[in-house]
Amino acid sequence: MEKGTILVIEDEEKIARLLELELGYEGYSVTKVFDGIDALEKYRARSWDLVLLDVMLPGISGIEILRRIRKNDLITPVILLTAKSSVEDKVSGLDLGANDYITKPFQIEELLARIRAALRLKQTEQPVEDASLLTFEDLNVNQKTREVLRAGESIELTPREYDLLVFLMNNKRQVLNREQILEAVWGYDFFGDTNVVDVYIRYLRKKIDFPHLPTLIHTVRGVGYVLKVVK
């Protein structure tokens, strides 16, 4: 039985391979990455139960990766792999939101214990729901600041595009016809063609449906539109 998904970000291939074997033997599903740029792409591509993150990486440092992870994700446990003498990295990492660290060389039994502890803590912590934060897959909307993020990247929307996106997110996975969208976003007193909905859906798609990420806004032929992921 799979215990969870772990992203191993480690540039020393022998260590990464050892971690893959040991964690796999313990029942974890492991994906390993060897540099910082690939690591961010892998992290953003799906959700993870835990991240093992080496501090010293080519491309982008582990500390910078941690900073970007914690910008939008306060839940996923991150354990740093550090050099024995790198006190500054440990302090910086903990200040940026790392859950724990372990120094190289390490005993695999100790690392496994730290992973189990981090996963237990994740299960017991219940995040406080904030009604102003809307989330669907890797799309996030902060209604207080009107900030929109997809896979960690900021998206600039016009006021009407923003209102349309909020309505879709508040009704995610529900098929909405043009009249429903028109009344909710443009108002009951709007006089005009319902084709304006199609136009703004097209604008919104260009901004949030990145070519390398799953499509979120889908057309239901003859009916309207729905925010969902087709797997």
Query: Is residue 79 a contact partner of residue 51, using CB atoms and an 8 Å limit?
Result: yes
Nearest to 39 by CA among 6, 9, 4: 9
* Helix or strand holding residue 207 (H, E): helix 195-208
Q: What predicted TM-score, i.e. pTM, was given to this entire model?
A: 0.56
Nearest to 30 by CA among 11, 17, 14: 17
State the virtual CA torsion across 199, 202, 203, 207 in degrees, nearest 10. Answer: 170
Per-position pLDDT tens, the chain of length 231: 568 899 999 999 999 999 999 999 999 999 999 999 999 889 988 889 999 999 999 988 999 999 888 887 888 999 999 886 667 777 888 888 899 999 988 999 999 999 999 998 877 655 555 567 899 989 999 988 899 999 888 999 999 999 999 999 999 999 999 989 988 888 866 666 768 999 999 999 999 998 888 999 999 998 999 999 886
Domains and CATH numbers, the chain: 4-124 (3.40.50.2300), 133-227 (1.10.10.10)
CA distance 5 to 31: 8
* Helix or strand holding residue 93 (H, E): helix 87-95
